[in-house]
Amino acid sequence: MAKKSLYLRIAGTLATLGPLGGRLPAPGTWGALAGTVFYWLAFQTTGLNSPGHLRQFLMLAGALTLFAVPVCSAGEKFLGRKDPGEVNFDEFAVMPFCYAGLGPVISRAGTAGQILWLLAGFALFRLFDIAKPFGIKKLQKIPGGAGIVIDDFVAALFTCACLWLARWAYVLTANLSN
């Protein structure tokens, strides 16, 4: 076996989020959990997911998602397999999109409510990522890192849509009961 370049070793470690993808079971779940924590720390606690910062939020979340494409490509090369399960940087990178625009809703929910919003986003994302409904599975046929990332990105968008529907249903129900 040829010695792997330093670039491939570094990118491979990043693509698997180190031990989260390389050593633990269910690497996609660990990647999504790390992405949820990252969202909370990088966007929610800093206020970058507030209405006045939506453009910055989308730019940063988009940049992270685009960065995931070459990282995941390198992870494929490092591991020598197409779309290996150990590569979980894709799940990590797209998780902020699950909560796009929901920052103020999450912030006002109190501690228990915030945890519920985050867990709901995490659970819905994993459901869409694993089940791959609505044609998401076909997106994996795109070669390289783009194929690895795009299905997760679309799963994150479906998750975001479901969270927004839940928010609207809650508001509608609250208004009807008043």
3-state SS record for 82-109 = CCCCCCCHHHHHHHHHHCCCCHHHHHCC
The predicted pLDDT at position 178 comes to 64
Measure the CA–CA gap between 37 and 5, rounded to whole angstroms: 31
The tokens describing 103, both together, are: 């920052």
The predicted pLDDT at position 1 comes to 46
Burial 83-101 (b: 16+ CB within 10 A, else e): bbebbbbbbbbbbbbbbbb
Q: Say how many C-beta atoms besides its own lie within 10 A of residue 9's C-beta.
A: 13
Measure the CA–CA gap between 93 and 32, rounded to whole angstroms: 8
The predicted pLDDT at position 107 comes to 83
The predicted pLDDT at position 177 comes to 74
Per-10-residue mean pLDDT for the chain, 178 residues long?
78 92 90 95 80 87 96 92 92 96 85 93 97 90 93 97 93 76
Burial degree of 108 (CB within 10 A; 0-12, 13-18, 19+):
exposed
